Amino acid sequence: MKVLTGNDLKTGDVVWWTGSEWSRHVDDAVDAGERAEEILAAEEAARRVNVPYIIEATREDDGKVRPAHIKDRIRALGPTVRPDLTLKPQSPEAIDWVI
Amino acid sequence: MYKYDNYDQQMVDARVEEFRDQARRRLEGKLSEDQFKPLRLMNGLYLQLHAYMLRVAIPYGTLNSEQMTALANIADKYDRGYGHFTTRQNLQYNWIKLEDAADILADLAKVEMHAIQTSGNCIRNISSDHFAGATHDELVDPRPYAELLRQWSSFHPEFTYLPRKFKIAVIASEKDRAAMRLHDIGIQIVEQNGELGARFFVGGGMGRTPMIAPMIRDFVPLDQLITYAEACLRVYNRYGRRDNKYKARIKILVHEIGKDEYTRQVEEEFKHLLDQGIEPPREELERIKPFFADPAFEDGPKTVDRSDPDFALWIDRNTHRHKHDSYVSAVISLKPVGGIPGDATGEQMRLMAQLAKQYSFDELRIMHTQNVVLPHVKIADLHDLWTELDAAGLGSPNMDSIEDMIACPGLDYCSLANARSIPLAQRISERFDASGKTGKLGELKLKISGCINACGHHHAGHIGILGVDKKGKENYQLSLGGSEAEDVSLAKITGPGFDEDGVIEAVEKVTDVYLDQREGEERFLDTYRRIGMAPFKEALYD
């Protein structure tokens, strides 16, 4: 699937395109499909998100979205060396998902 | 240490307000990211993987307790309770909001700090010896000259848009503790016939094309220091490769046209500039010097009670001989076993500030090895200091050991990185601490970079590790034999790379070769230089 991601203009938070807005949670991401470039252009013009770009990802059997590249998986979760600062501070094992 | 005059303060305050307006326009959507990016970068504000990152300049690594406390307060108020000390003696915050950036800069300005020229193709923070003004082996304190260079290079209209970033280091001893020859310009203050002058090395650097700077002038009179630096920059600015980012650093220019031709052009420009009278008046240097005058040292005990073995170990490893025999410089390690190299919490920063006030004439230094120095500690106070540091997790006795590694933020934070650096550092320190080999290995400088840009100085590591992306997987190249000290050399790659587990095993194997082959008091580097790469390769790949 083609997923749009970027960093929120105000906070810098990593965000993912949900089809209508931006979410901090990668599992909210939708497949932008053939409209990816069009949405990207519109969102760049809207200037809410910094340098949005398209990545490859897969939706797994449990419905979770897994970016293809480790860099985007780290972006999706947070720094692997600070589990307490990730989006899943109560689940240190979430780091395994990144690697 | 140096105190801003009205001009310095006005310059910094004006920049804060200018940036506040730029950030407001960006937040209101009146500026695009393409328009805003160069403006934020001029103020040290990057966009990294998880958030904006702010890099704060700490000129030549020197700061006082009030400044360190301000850095701690910013970490707690605007970030997530910590900061990261870098290999350029700076501090980075990893979780900054654009909405807060101008307020942070305003808070910094109140304590005579800023983030100007910590990014972009300009002259960056001037670095120096972290023991400057304290060490027993220096000719003079190099920091007044570093400060003069800081003033010259700040907002220099001609050098704001150089072909590429530009880094300068200044030292004043034969011992090089600032990786001086791996800078675009390395300056060593020297003495010749009773007169002080500057030795210029130009065209060094790490990154994707590491080079050791050749000496182009063995003596520049100090009243021509700025003029000569200006000549070096002018020739670079004129001929540096603006057409190719990867060939734009001055090291490429010096290499391509040759040291002799580059030097010839610098000398010609220098001669021309001497007539222009651009050198700051001597009075300015004389105004600067008293800010770096020695504090009021007092005679006291010259030895310590070594009956506590942990304390004795810390003394042996983490203190440096001072120019006054009743004092030492004490290194506060930011490398606890399993910790993140260079990270300090707000609480730890406040403690270091308080200890500096209590024990070190209100002064601290940041090391390019991502540690902190209290430069002037009475030998009589060492046990009390160590006790407080140890209680706060800041007493690791590991300076210059394999556990005192440099590691860049790597793929955990950095948008340029290809692989993570910090987990390697954590696992290596845990492994060597658990095995008890750290002490046996003695001085062993391990440096880890998460990409070819080499922020982790891997080219200069006795053991260097470079993270690369191999078909979407993290992979690590091992190199041996580098040094950033006075015996400067560039490390050589051992061979094919390793995965994360593999490279940690590989580090263990090369240290085993060293322990097996070393003679006498040889360091790892000495043994490598004597026996060459072959025995290490054999252990790694056969």
pLDDT of residue B423: 97
A10, A70, A85 ranked by CB distance to B472: nearest: A70
Contact A75 B49 (CB under 8 A): yes
Q: What is the DSSP letter of B281?
A: P
Least Cα separation, residue A66 to chain B (angstroms): 14
Interface check B389 vs A, CB under 8 A: no
B391 has a pLDDT exceeding 90: yes
**Stretch B5-9: mean pLDDT:** 95
What pLDDT score does B306 carry?
A: 96
Distance CA B323, CA B319 (A): 13
Instruction: Collect all residues of chain A within an 8 Å Cβ-Cβ radius of residue B414.
Output: none
| β B363-366/B343-345 pair status | unpaired
CB contact under 8 A, A74 and B27: no
β-bridge mates for residue B190, sequence order: B197
Interval B68-107: pLDDT, tens: 999 999 999 999 999 999 998 999 999 999 999 999 999 9
The reply to whether residue B50 touches residue A80, judged by beta carbons under 8 angstroms, is: no
Q: Do A12 and B26 touch (CB under 8 A)?
A: no
Helix residue spans in B33-158 (DSSP H) = 33-41, 65-78, 98-110, 143-153
CA–CA min distance B409, chain A (Å)? 10
CA–CA gap between residue A28 and residue B491 (Å, rounded): 46
**pLDDT value at position B472?**
86
Confidence category of residue A93, pLDDT binned at 50, 70, 90 = confident
Q: What is the pLDDT of residue B225?
A: 98
Confidence of residue B11 (pLDDT cuts 50, 70, 90): very high
Hey, are the CB atoms on B51 and A13 less than 8 Å from each other? yes
**Which helix H or strand E contains B417, and what residues bound it?**
none
| B324-365 pLDDT, tens digit each | 999 999 999 999 999 999 999 999 999 999 999 999 999 999
Among residues B282, B296, B382, B283, the alpha carbon closest in space to that of B331 is found at B382
B450 touches A: beta carbon within 8 Å: no
- Which residues, in sequence order, are CB contacts of B288 under 8 Å at separation 6+? B2, B144, B147, B148
Q: Give the residue among B57, B129, B68 at the shortest CA–CA distance from B369.
A: B129
Question: Which of the two residues, B472 and A55, has the higher pLDDT score?
Answer: A55
Residue B502's pLDDT is what? 98
Mean pLDDT on B442-457: 97
How big is the A-B interface in CB pairs under 8 Å? 64
Contact criterion met (CB below 8 Å) for B225 and B278: no
Q: How close, in Å, is residue B34 to chain A by CA atoms? A: 9
Q: pLDDT averaged over chain B?
A: 97
Is the distance from CB of B122 to CB of B166 less than 8 angstroms?
yes
pLDDT of residue B127: 96
Token pair recorded at residue B270: 């220098």
Residue B369 and residue B447 in contact, taking contact as beta carbons nearer than 8 Å? no
**Which of B33, B79, B430 has the most A C-beta neighbours within 10 Å, making it the best mutation to test the interface with A?**
B33
Q: How confident is the model at residue B406 (pLDDT cuts 50, 70, 90)?
A: very high
In chain B, % of residues over pLDDT 90:
99
Q: Considering only CB atoms, which chain B residues are within 8 Å of A70?
A: 411, 472-474
Q: What are the φ and ψ backbone dihedral angles of B275, each rounded to 5 degrees?
A: -75, -15
**What residues contact B225, with CB distance under 8 A and at least 6 apart?**
B145, B148, B149, B187, B198, B279
Best A5, A9, A26, A48 member to test B by mutation, with max B CBs in 10 Å, is: A9
Q: Residue B422 and residue A68: Cβ atoms within 8 Å?
A: no
Phi, psi of B372 (to 5 degrees): -125, 145
Q: Would the pTM count as exceeding 0.80?
A: yes
Q: How far apart are the first and last CA of chain A?
A: 20
- Of residues B540 and B1, more confidence is placed in B540
Q: Mind listing the pLDDT tens digit for each residue in B151-168?
A: 999 999 999 999 999 999
Average pLDDT over residues B527-533: 98
**Which chain A residue has the Cα nearest residue B81?**
A85
Q: Where are the domains of chain A?
A: 2-98
| A27-55 per-position pLDDT tens digit | 999 999 999 999 999 999 998 999 899 99
Judge whether B49 and A74 are in contact, CB under 8 Å: yes
pLDDT value of residue B114: 97
Q: Is the dihedral of CA B365, B370, B372, B373 positive or negative?
A: negative
For A70-92, what is each residue's pLDDT tens digit? 999 999 999 999 999 999 999 88
Q: Which two tokens stand for residue B199?
A: 């030795």
Q: Is the pLDDT of residue B54 over 90?
A: yes
The reply to whether residue B473 touches residue A69, judged by beta carbons under 8 angstroms, is no
Residue count of chain B, please give it: 542
CA-wise closest residue to B116 among B77, B151, B65: B151
